[in-house]
Every structure is written in structure tokens, then in C-alpha cells.
């Protein structure tokens, strides 16, 4: 509050706070059930579990639709110049939500949640059977829900896809993304061709050696400890698709997946999700006090997870830091493998089908493909049944490979079960962290910190410059505040060209 706040505005703020505290209780319970659904819930219980979660989520939605709450929230927005920075952020966030959801009734919201829940269940069935037809009708229903949400928005943007992107990455547009991906195509496509023609041969046979789940669990725990994950405020387990959920201020949970013959998959999944968790664990306490802890964008979040996964996790310094532990946990894997061979194997460029297993170089191609298909879906320029064919054609066009079944093709990701607009944030994250890494290395010796396992210094810098303002600024303003520069893909592309040019001698 500011000195100029009058009694009426103070009353509105108290009303908003009281309502949000109740909303967050329902949301917390719903998310706990959602976490359970994706981890230990038995298959036949999933649909009912999802329905209960949707019921609780709808209760929260009903509270946010009360006339008293809306009136108070809009009063805050109209008088936001009298609020402090945190409450002003809250007022602006609630106003955006109000415009987006003004014409959506609680009954509609419940119906939408049930559509997404059924889509998730059918996606699991379809993936297991490697049969897209099981998921097709649900995906069509998800599209209808997204389009209906856009149509009901009070101030919908002219480009349909922009409305969905804005949910995850406010401030960014389809035009921004097209410019970024065009730059990626211009520089990465010819470089991929050079890499594929390179005489450099990287050994990778040991990456498919079998490792027990227990050994992988121990490695996951070690990696989380190494990067600074707080086990008093967090936990980890397994799921079909690795994810992170900041359930509460002191309850952040991450998951991974163990593949017997792909131990590195678990290593980099847990570092990635651990990065998300560090973001949640290190945001300012004021964010919770003022109910703005959910205002950060997905691109901001992905920038951090992929910063730890790639800029740190796949660096020479980090490989050196963990190599002895790798040999300790996986002795049969590393008995004839050098540290240099391990580093090169973790950075090998090899077009592959699965996004989450993709190397750092070709990962951008996976996102470009999804971005192009999502626009086709949202714009209604494609028949849902034809998507597997389109997907496979694009993989052949961009990466020179063609999926042999739907499981390794269009069904590999869970994201579309809950809507469109998420995927581009992964690539945006890479571009953001390339920019702030260049700022960071001007102020601290990042490589030396990694070599000595000094994540206190690295995380301290991230807390002050990257995590502190994320909830209060949109993406473009946030990256400019960190770096003093306008958003660009150039830092990321420069990094990629330098790293892989050196690795492959091109």
C-alpha cells in the first residue's frame, strides 16, 4: 500500500486477498491430486481422480467469478497507481485474467477441465498403443475448447494463436516467434549439414548400457543436491513425462523417468526439472504474500531449466565435476570411458525422434515443427486425422528422419492434451538464458564456479538478477532489465555455432 491509498481501496485489497487465499486452497488441493494422477494413481483410477481435481479447480474458478471479488479487483486495477509494485502487478494480472475469462461461466470452466482431463487419459492410452486415432477425437475437442476460449475473451487478439501464446508468454507474438525461427533456420540448417558431413566421429555406445533404476535414483538425488535443490522444501519421484510443480511456498516437487538403457535421459531430465524447482524455491517471499507467485511466464521458467540442463549440465566443467560420481554410481558403464568421451557423447549431434532426448543443437528443430503444426491446428487449416502424416513429413524435411510409429512421433508429448501455445517457450528459454549467461560471465567466473561445485555463487546471481523480477515483468521487459538489451536470438545462435563448430571442427 502507499500513503495515498484511501479506505475504499484498502477494503478492495483486503477483499481480493481474502478471496485469493481461499482460491489458492482449492488450487493447491487440485494440484496435489494432479501430481498424484501423474505419479502413483492406478490406471483405472485416473479418470475419476481427474474429475475430482477438476471439481476442486472449478470451485476456485467460481470464487474468482463472484461479483464482489471482480468489483474489488477492478477497483484495484483502476487505481493501480496508488498501489505498491507487488500489488500493482497483482491488479494487472487479475485484470488480464478478468478480460480472458469474463464470459466463461463456472459451468463452462468445469466442462473445459473435463475435456482436458479426458484428453490426458486418452493420450496415455494412445501413447501406450502407439495409435493416434485413440487420441484424435480428444485433440479435436481440445482445439474446440481453445477456440471457444479465444472467442469468449473480452479483448481477443486479431491473430488467434497470439491469444494462446499470451497465456504462457505474455509480451511475445507469433510475429516475434516467426522472426526468431527464421533466424534459426538460416543459421542452423546449413550448420547441421556441415556437422553431418564432418569427419569427427563421437563414441556413444556406452550411453545405451543398462543401469538399474536404483542407481539412477541415487544419481538423480546427487545431481539435485549438487545444483542446490532444498530437500526440506522439495521432493522427487517418477512419472511417464518428467515435470515440476511448485505446489506451495515450501513444497516443490519434481519428477523424472528411468530408462534402463538410457541413463543420461534421467540425468538431464532431473537437472532440467531441478532448474524449474530452483526458480520456485528462490523467488521473493513477497510474491507469495501478494499472490503474484504465478505471474512468471513459461519462457522465463524454461530459460532457467534449460540453463541448468544445457549451459551448465552439458559443459566441460560440469562433466568434470560429476565424472567421478558417474563412475561410482555406474561402474559397468564407465569402466572404459574417459571424461572427454563422456563430454563429447553428451553433446553429440544426431537427429532423433524424441524431443526430450534431443541433443542441444537439434532441439530447436523439434520446437519449430511443433510451432508450425500448432498454428495449422489453431487456424483450422488441417484435418486432425492427418496430423501424424504432417508430423512425419516435417521430421523428414527438417531432420532427415521419419518416425516409424505414433509413439515416437506425434504422441510423444503430453502438452496438447491441455491446449496449444506452450512449446515455443522452450526455444525462447534457450534464447533468454544465452543472453543472461553473457551478462553473468562478465561478473562472475561461471566456469570456475561449476568446476568447484560452487552453486551458491551461481544461484545467488540468478536469484538477484533472473528470479527476482520475473513475476513483475513480461518477458521482453524482464530480459532487458537483466541484460540492458532488447530480446534477440543472436546470443543463442552465436553460442551454438561456437560450441558445435569447436566440437566438430567446422
Residues making up the binding site: 272, 276, 302
* Residue 279 to residue 304: CA distance in whole angstroms: 7
| DSSP letter (8 states) at residue 175 | H
Grid cell of 194 as nine digits: 556441415
Grid cell of 295 as nine digits: 505471474
236 bridge partner residues: 254
Q: Which helix (H) or strand (E) covers residue 364, if one does? A: helix 363-378
148-152's contacts with Cβ under 8 Å and 24+ in sequence apart are 148/108, 149/100, 149/104, 149/112, 152/102, 152/103, 152/104, 152/108
Q: Which residues are documented as binding site for Zn(2+)?
A: 272, 276, 302
| 306 and 425 Cβ atoms separated by less than 8 Å | no
Q: DSSP states of 251-312 as a string?
A: EEEEEE---TT-HHHHHHHHHHHHHHHHHHHTS-HHHHHTT-TT-S-HHHHHHHHHIIIIII
3-class state of residue 381 by DSSP: coil
> Is residue 273 annotated as part of the catalytic site, yes or no?
yes
* Residue 183 to residue 187: CA distance in whole angstroms: 6
* Residue 296 to residue 313: CA distance in whole angstroms: 24
Give me the catalytic one of 47, 74, 240, 273: 273
Strands 244-248 and 234-238: unpaired
- Sign of dihedral through CA atoms 111, 113, 116, 119? negative
* Catalytic annotation, residues: 273
Amino acid at each position: 500500500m502507499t500513503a495515498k491509498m484511501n479506505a475504499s481501496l484498502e477494503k478492495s485489497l483486503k477483499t481480493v486477498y481474502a478471496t485469493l487465499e481461499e482460491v489458492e486452497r482449492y488450487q493447491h488441493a487440485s494440484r496435489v491430486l494432479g501430481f498424484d494422477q501423474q505419479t502413483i494413481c492406478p490406471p483405472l483410477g485416473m479418470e475419476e481422480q481427474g474429475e475430482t481435481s477438476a471439481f476442486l479447480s472449478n470451485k476456485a474458478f467460481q470464487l474468482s467469478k463472484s461479483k464482489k471479488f471482480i468489483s474489488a479487483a477492478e477497483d484495484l486495477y483502476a487505481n493501480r497507481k496508488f498501489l505498491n509494485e507487488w500489488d500493482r502487478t497483482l491488479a494487472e494480472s487479475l485484470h488480464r485474467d478478468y478480460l480472458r475469462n469474463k464470459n466463461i461461466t463456472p459451468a463452462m470452466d468445469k466442462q473445459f477441465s473435463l475435456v482436458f482431463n479426458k484428453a490426458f487419459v486418452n493420450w496415455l492410452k494412445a501413447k501406450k498403443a502407439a495409435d493416434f486415432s485413440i487420441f484424435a477425437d480428444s485433440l479435436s475437442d481440445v482445439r474446440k475448447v481453445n477456440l471457444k476460449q479465444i472467442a469468449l475473451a473480452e479483448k481477443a487478439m486479431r491473430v488467434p494463436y497470439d491469444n494462446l501464446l499470451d497465456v504462457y508468454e505474455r509480451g511475445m507474438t507469433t510475429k516475434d516467434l516467426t522472426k526468431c525461427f527464421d533466424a534459426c533456420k538460416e543459421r542452423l540448417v546449413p550448420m547441421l549439414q556441415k556437422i553431418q558431413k564432418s569427419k569427427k566421429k563421437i563414441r556413444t555406445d556406452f550411453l545405451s548400457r543398462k543401469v538399474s533404476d536404483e542407481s539412477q535414483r541415487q544419481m538423480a538425488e546427487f545431481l539435485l543436491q549438487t545444483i542446490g535443490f532444498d530437500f526440506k522444501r522439495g521432493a522427487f519421484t517418477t512419472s511417464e513425462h518428467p515435470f515440476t510443480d511448485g505446489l506451495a511456498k515450501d513444497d516443490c516437487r519434481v519428477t523424472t523417468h528411468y530408462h534402463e538403457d538410457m541413463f543420461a535421459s534421467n540425468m538431464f531430465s532431473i537437472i532440467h526439472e531441478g532448474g524449474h524447482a530452483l526458480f520456485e524455491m528462490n523467488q521473493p517471499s513477497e510474491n507469495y504474500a501478494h499472490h503474484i507467485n504465478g505471474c512468471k511466464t513459461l519462457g522465463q521458467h524454461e530459460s532457467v531449466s534449460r540453463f541448468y540442463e544445457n549451459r551448465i549440465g552439458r559443459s566441460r566443467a560440469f562433466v568434470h565435476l560429476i565424472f567421478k560420481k558417474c563412475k561410482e554410481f555406474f561402474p559397468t558403464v564407465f569402466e572404459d570411458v574417459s571424461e572427454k568421451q563422456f563430454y563429447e557423447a553428451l553433446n553429440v549431434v544426431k537427429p532423433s525422434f524424441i524431443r526430450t532426448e534431443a541433443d542441444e543443437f537439434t532441439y530447436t528443430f523439434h520446437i519449430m515443427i511443433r510451432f508450425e503444426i500448432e498454428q495449422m491446428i489453431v487456424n483450422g487449416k488441417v484435418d486432425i486425422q492427418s496430423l501424424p502424416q504432417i508430423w512425419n513429413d516435417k521430421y523428414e524435411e527438417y531432420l532427415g528422419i521419419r518416425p516409424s510409429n505414433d509413439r515416437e512421433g506425434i504422441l510423444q508429448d503430453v502438452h496438447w492434451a491441455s491446449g496449444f501455445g506452450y512449446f515455443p517457450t522452450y526455444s525462447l528459454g534457450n534464447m533468454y538464458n544465452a543472453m543472461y549467461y553473457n551478462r553473468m560471465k562478465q561478473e562472475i567466473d561461471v566456469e570456475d564456479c561449476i568446476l568447484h561445485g560452487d552453486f551458491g555463487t551461481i544461484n545467488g546471481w540468478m536469484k538477484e538478477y533472473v528470479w527476482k523480477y520475473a513475476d513483475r515483468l513480461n518477458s521482453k521487459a524482464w530480459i532487458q532489465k537483466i541484460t540492458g538489451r532488447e530480446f534477440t536470438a543472436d546470443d543463442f545462435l552465436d553460442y551454438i555455432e561456437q560450441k558445435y563448430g569447436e566440437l566438430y571442427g567446422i
